[in-house]
Amino acid sequence: LAKTTQPISMDSYEGQEVNITCSHNNIATNDYITWYQQFPSQGPRFIIQGYKTKVTNEVASLFIPADRKSSTLSLPRVSLSDTAVYYCLVGDGYSGGYQKVTFGIGRKLQVIP
């Protein structure tokens, strides 16, 4: 399984764009990159997933360079409600295949008023 590493915590002011980077040097050809968000006392929640280049949805953008050894989650104009722990994961992209992925310790984002 590809291992992911992330710095532990970061602070940001409301209204700023926040970029959170994750390293996954051993990512395999079939692996997708998925980001989750976890609020206190809740289970993680899917944010965005991608394989290469750029993916955007209503919540965030995900930038993946050509070598796919890292990825960057971009949150536009964060608000206090974006304070959470963010996890990046890589895992086998075969639908119906073995999909065990492992969560690291994540990165805590604290949004400051």
Nearer to other proteins, 9 or 16 (CB): 9
Q: Which is nearer to other proteins, 18 or 88 (CB)?
A: 88
User: By C-beta, is 13 or 94 nearer to other proteins?
Assistant: 94
What tokens were used for 57? 């949805």
Out of 53, 102, 110, 112, name the contact with other proteins by CB under 8 A: 102
Other residues' Cβ atoms within 10 Å of the Cβ of residue 90: 23
Q: How far apart are alpha carbons 5 and 76 in whole angstroms?
A: 23
Q: Report the C-alpha gap between 56 and 48 in whole angstroms.
A: 8
Residues 32-91 close enough to bind other proteins by CB under 8 A: 32, 34, 36, 41-46, 49, 87, 89, 91
At closest approach, how far in Å is the CB of 18 from other proteins? 20
- Give yes or no for residue 103 binding other proteins (CB under 8 A): yes
30, 93 in Cβ contact below 8 A?
yes
Specify burial of residue 35 (Cβ count, 10 A radius: 0-12, 13-18, 19+).
buried
Binding-site ranges for other proteins (CB under 8 A)? 32, 34, 36, 41-46, 49, 87, 89, 91-96, 98-106
